[in-house]
């Protein structure tokens, strides 16, 4: 495997560029700005894993804690063949802002392992996860840093992490990770939380534009956990999903894709992909499918894949009235300017996809109290927080006459900066 380090470096540069822009508007102290630009702590580890063929293979893993001034660090673990330290650092910074914008008491962190999980067996993934957990154990814990699932990790991954950590403590510590199965102290509603949060803010965004979610036309890039849950919940609310794509291609139907049937197909598909679904308008070429998806004339476009998908070049072809960023950093700063000129209403990632970390917070609270909530209660509390956060950001945008991204960052950065100011610098 070979990595394109430029992508992660550009992603981090973009994250810091946005922070500079926010700091200028907030008139942030230069020293405080420097503190927020760089992570508190970064760890690079070598992970020796015995593969199924008996050979020893060394993987590289990362854990970055960006800021802990508002509470313990929080952030996912991703397994991906493009993971770099720079990418993980940028994502940790985004987690800091995400937690602050929805006003939960966490700081930001992120982790990753450079690997191709789709080419690894379950046993190899378990051994990788357990050794990675051991290597980063000095950083994580219920009061320090609480990992969660991210790209190509899932509740099973978190189960292995929780068990490994607990074995070294000598007792069960369910609060060390979130996104676990319910039987191990996970929260009901956690698996759907990010997608449900996307649905809530999309609904409120359409209301702001004078539109209804019922009957709205929607295109979604990415059909993993977030994209598929978002599609299903939006479909249940009466929206029409007219286009969606994943790495195997794209599906297009102006009458609306049969989402329940597609979900059943993806579940049966060994690779979990949309290819092979017997529906109209399938395009097998990934790039061509995304070009068509981004050019659809729809009410809402939801990028739910990886970062830097909407660029200054392809933003010119976007015809959606609104974009909900279900993925982390899917729009580049250059594309932001193009979309602003086109007057496309953008709900930024640090708000739009914060549902996962909100319910992760609920899970952590339930674990520490050993008192668990019903799914209806979880979903209701999630709706309250996501809706309140949307209108906090909207009011900030209207007050300062800025777009939603700038407003979300201004709100988040000001909250973190104030916490830092109140705590002071030790010693």
**Residues 246 and 143 occupy one common structural domain:** no
**Residues 215 and 322 occupy one common structural domain:** yes
Each residue's pLDDT expressed in tens, for the chain with a length of 427 residues = 677 888 889 889 988 988 999 999 999 999 999 999 999 999 999 999 999 999 999 999 999 999 999 999 999 999 999 999 999 999 999 999 999 999 999 999 999 999 999 999 999 999 999 999 999 999 999 999 999 998 899 999 999 999 999 999 999 999 999 999 999 999 999 989 999 999 999 999 999 999 999 999 999 999 988 999 999 999 999 999 999 998 888 999 999 999 999 999 988 876 778 888 877 788 888 889 889 999 999 999 999 988 788 999 999 999 999 999 999 889 988 899 999 999 999 999 999 999 999 999 999 999 999 999 999 999 999 999 999 999 999 999 999 999 999 999 999 999 999 999 999 999 8
Domain boundary among 298, 320, 352: 352
- Cα–Cα distance, 416 to 92 (Å, whole number): 14
**Residues 46 and 158 occupy one common structural domain:** yes
**Residues 282 and 204 occupy one common structural domain:** yes
Domain of 115, CATH number, reads 3.40.50.10860
**Residues 312 and 216 occupy one common structural domain:** yes
Domain boundary among 318, 336, 352: 352
**Residues 169 and 268 occupy one common structural domain:** no
Q: Indicate the helix (H) or strand (E) that contains 113.
A: strand 107-114
Q: What does residue 240 show for φ and ψ, rounded to 5 degrees?
A: -110, 115
**Residues 66 and 103 occupy one common structural domain:** yes
Asked whether residue 128 is assigned to any structural domain, the reply reads: yes
- For residue 144, give its domain range: 41-176
In the DSSP assignment, the letter for residue 174 is G
Asked whether residue 27 is assigned to any structural domain, the reply reads: no
Entry pTM:
0.91
**Residues 263 and 155 occupy one common structural domain:** no
**Residues 217 and 268 occupy one common structural domain:** yes
SS3 41: strand
**Residues 129 and 249 occupy one common structural domain:** no
Asked whether residue 137 is assigned to any structural domain, the reply reads: yes
- Cα–Cα distance, 76 to 92 (Å, whole number): 9
- Cα–Cα distance, 165 to 174 (Å, whole number): 9
Query: Does the active-site annotation cover 110?
Result: yes
Out of 74, 98, 110, 180, the active site residue is 110
Q: Characterise 353 by phi-psi region: left (phi > 0), alpha (psi -120 to 50), beta (else).
A: alpha
Q: Total structural domains in the chain?
A: 2
**Residues 162 and 216 occupy one common structural domain:** no
**Residues 80 and 207 occupy one common structural domain:** no
Domain of 306, CATH number, reads 3.40.50.720
Asked whether residue 10 is assigned to any structural domain, the reply reads: no
């Amino acid at each position: 495997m070979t990595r394109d380090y430029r992508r992660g470096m550009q992603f981090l540069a973009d994250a810091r560029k946005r922070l500079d822009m926010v700091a200028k508007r907030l008139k942030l102290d230069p020293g405080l700005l420097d503190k927020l630009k760089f992570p508190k702590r970064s760890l690079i580890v070598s992970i020796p894993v015995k593969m199924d063929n008996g050979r020893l293979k060394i993987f590289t893993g990362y854990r970055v804690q960006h800021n802990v001034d508002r509470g313990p660090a929080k952030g996912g673990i991703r397994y991906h063949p493009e993971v770099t330290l720079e990418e993980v650092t940028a994502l940790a910074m985004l987690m800091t802002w995400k937690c602050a914008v929805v006003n939960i008491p966490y700081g930001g962190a992120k982790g990753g392992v450079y690997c191709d999980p789709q080419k690894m067996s379950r046993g190899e993934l378990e051994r990788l996860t357990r050794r990675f957990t051991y290597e980063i154990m000095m950083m994580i814990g219920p009061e320090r840093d609480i990992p969660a699932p991210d790209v190509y990790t899932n509740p099973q991954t978190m189960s292995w992490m929780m068990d490994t950590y607990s074995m070294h403590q000598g007792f069960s510590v369910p609060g060390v990770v979130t996104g676990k199965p319910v039987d191990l102290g996970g929260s009901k509603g956690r698996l759907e939380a990010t997608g449900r949060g996307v649905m809530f803010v999309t609904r409120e965004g359409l209301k702001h534009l004078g539109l209804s979610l019922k009957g709205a036309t929607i295109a979604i890039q990415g059909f993993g956990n977030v994209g598929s849950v978002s599609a299903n919940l939006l479909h249940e609310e009466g929206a029409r999903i007219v286009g969606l794509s994943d790495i195997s291609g794209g599906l297009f139907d102006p009458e609306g894709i049969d989402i329940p049937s597609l979900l059943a197909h993806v579940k049966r598909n060994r690779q979990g992909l949309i290819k092979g679904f017997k529906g109209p308008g399938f395009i097998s070429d990934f790039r061509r499918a995304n070009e068509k998806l981004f050019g659809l004339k729809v009410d809402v476009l939801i990028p739910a894949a990886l970062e830097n998908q909407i660029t200054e070049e392809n933003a010119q072809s976007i015809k959606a009235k609104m974009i909900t960023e279900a993925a982390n950093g899917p729009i580049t700063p250059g594309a932001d300017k193009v979309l602003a000129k086109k007057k496309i209403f953008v709900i930024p990632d640090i708000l739009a996809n914060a549902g996962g970390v909100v319910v992760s917070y609920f899970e952590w609270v339930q674990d520490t109290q050993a008192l668990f909530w019903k799914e209806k209660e979880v979903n209701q509390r999630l709706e309250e927080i996501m809706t309140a956060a949307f209108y906090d950001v909207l009011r900030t945008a209207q007050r300062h006459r800025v777009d939603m991204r700038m407003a979300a960052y201004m709100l988040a950065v000001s909250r973190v900066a104030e916490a830092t100011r109140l705590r002071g610098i030790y010693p």
